Amino acid sequence: MNILQISSSVLGANSESNRVTKLVVDKLVAANPDAKVVRRDFGSQPHPLLDGAAVGALFTPADQRSPEQAARVALDDALIAEAQAADVIVIGAPMYNFGMPAQLKNWFDAIARSGVTFRYTETGPEGLLKNKKVYVATSRGGVYPTDADPQVPHIRMLLNFLGLTDHTFIYSSGLNMGPDAASKGKQAANEAVEAALA
């Protein structure tokens, strides 16, 4: 089993989403001792933004790229290869200002490449990262009812677009609503991990 662990929190060891992603990965490895884990911590080592230079490099034929352009494309290529090789992807997605961190959005921007991880057909887009399990650990200061959650639908849409349709979201909610609420939110996440990996 190949496991890809994506962390996007800027809080490091104090991050709840990092704690839960580690919990998920530890349980997966315990059940699959031969598993290989690739870890990407974009909170501490952010991937470059998708800017004009990056787009220019991507749209330049490979044999015509400058050394700088080739190096920039290679950074994205490495992330795509990791996603393609993974059997399971575990994503830490704290809620920042009602959305995902820019660090996580950069990862999606890097791996979403037409003709490689998705393609357009006569009937619409088709995701090419298929037959993978995804766990998303999302932490948030408040509590958001399903129909009012501004973050998860965006992440789910991106996953589905890439063909990652088998996903489980694990919530740590109420973390900034006082000690009792935070404790309950963390316990709920622990129980959700146990249930998801039973």
Rounded CA gap, 177 and 183, in Å? 10
The token pair at 21 is 């992603």
Q: Does 185 belong to an annotated binding site?
A: no
Q: Does 9 belong to an annotated binding site?
A: yes
Rounded CA gap, 42 and 149, in Å? 24
Q: Does 43 belong to an annotated binding site?
A: no
Q: Does 119 belong to an annotated binding site?
A: no
CB-CB contact of 41 with 10 (8 Å): no
CB-CB contact of 173 with 166 (8 Å): no
Q: Does 141 belong to an annotated binding site?
A: yes
Rounded CA gap, 176 and 184, in Å? 12
Q: Does 1 belong to an annotated binding site?
A: no
Q: Does 52 belong to an annotated binding site?
A: no
Name the residue among 15, 36, 9, 19 with its Cα closest to residue 193: 19
Q: Does 174 belong to an annotated binding site?
A: no
How would DSSP label each residue in 16-58?
HHHHHHHHHHHHHHHH-TT-EEEEEETTTSPPPP--HHHHHHH
Angle ∠(146,151,156) on CA atoms, nearest 5: 85
Q: Does 96 belong to an annotated binding site?
A: yes
Q: Does 114 belong to an annotated binding site?
A: no
- Report the binding-site residues for FMN: 9, 15-17, 95-98, 139-142
- Report the binding-site residues: 9, 15-17, 95-98, 139-142
